Amino acid sequence: MKERFLKAAVIACTLAAASCSQAPTAPAPAEYAVLTVETADRTVPRVYSAAIRGRQDIAVYPQVSGTITELKVTEGETVRQGQTLFIIDQVPYKAALRTAEANVQAARAGVATAQLTYDSKKELFARNVVSQYDLSTAENALLTAGTADRCNTMTASWGGLGVLWNAPSATCYIRPQRYTKEFVDREDYFTLSFFGEESRKALQLCGSRSGRDIDKVKECGFTVQAAECGAPYFQEAELVLVCRKRFAQPMDPDNMPQEIKTKWYPEKDYHTLYIGEIVEVLVKD
């Protein structure tokens, strides 16, 4: 054991002596990267939240309502007078135009029909074939329905008087495009008003214009009164028949001769037949 310890001590001393005999190594000089600083222009981006507004905001509204299908300008763009800003869906307006044009044609047809009916009955009256009532109906009669506050009226050229179901009755015929038909269909009563010759111009307006477009009562200067049942009539009328609606039925074209359909219904706008029981008669004093 002692011999081994001695050998280890000798080896250690030898190593120490060898280390002390070598000179220390000088450190190498340090190297560093060099950056040359120069002046230059640089843009430093910055992001801010903001909203851009004009000095004056002007709201532009169309004269008609509808859905905007195309926008022709952008916000802030300079525009000139007459420039198209946006386009509104034209489909409903084109449909309304076609309906209005159809109503105009129907009104013209109604005027022509009324004139033919009047001329025919005038000739028949001169020969004592039709009664004074029939002639008056062709000349100056209005069919009115609704309420005293809201009603519509139209000329009544086709119709007649008689007895049905043991009651005095009036028969009327209304084409489907007539605005008054909506009132007649909705209400239980309607009236037939007969006027003097002095009201001919007003009645011509009632037969040629639609209540959808104008207030015919106001345009004609009529005064609306209400019968006991609430049906509206006009104070200016010479004679008023108040009728309770008892029957309504559209005409069946299958039961018409072809020449009738060709002459009177080229647009297939077949009349609806209305029968009213006369429940009240009003005569102007």
Q: Where are the domains of the chain?
A: 97-283
pLDDT-derived band at 115 (thresholds 50, 70, 90) equals: low
Identify the bridge partners of residue 71 per DSSP, sorted by sequence position. 86
Largest CA distance in the chain: 173
CATH, domain range 97-283: 2.30.110.10
Q: What is the DSSP letter of 141?
A: E
Confidence of residue 238 (pLDDT cuts 50, 70, 90): confident
For range 24-39, the mean pLDDT: 77
**Helix 200-208, helix 91-126: angle, nearest 10:** 140
More confident residue, 125 or 196: 196
- Nearest of 180, 188, 174, 168 to residue 241 by alpha carbon: 168
Round the average pLDDT of the chain to a whole number and report it: 79
What pLDDT, on a 0 to 100 scale, did the predictor assign at position 16?
47
User: Distance (Å, rounded) from C-alpha 152 to C-alpha 117?
Assistant: 23
Look at 238 and 130; give whichever has higher pLDDT. 238
DSSP string, 212-252: TTS-HHHHHT--EEE-TTS-EEETT-SEEEEEEEEEEEE--
Instruction: List, for residues 43-99, the tens digit of each pLDDT value.
Output: 888 888 887 777 777 777 777 788 888 888 887 788 888 888 888 888 888 888 877
Q: For residue 113, is pLDDT > 50?
A: yes
Lowest mean pLDDT among 38-42, 151-155, 204-208, 242-246: 204-208
Q: What is the pLDDT of residue 128?
A: 54
For the entire predicted model, the pTM comes to 0.52
Taking only the tens place, the pLDDT of each residue in 127-183 is: 554 455 554 555 578 899 999 899 988 888 788 888 888 888 889 999 999 889 999
Instruction: Look at residue 248 in the predicted model and tell me its pLDDT.
Output: 95
**Residue bearing tokens 């004074």:** 132
**Residue located via tokens 């009164």:** 225
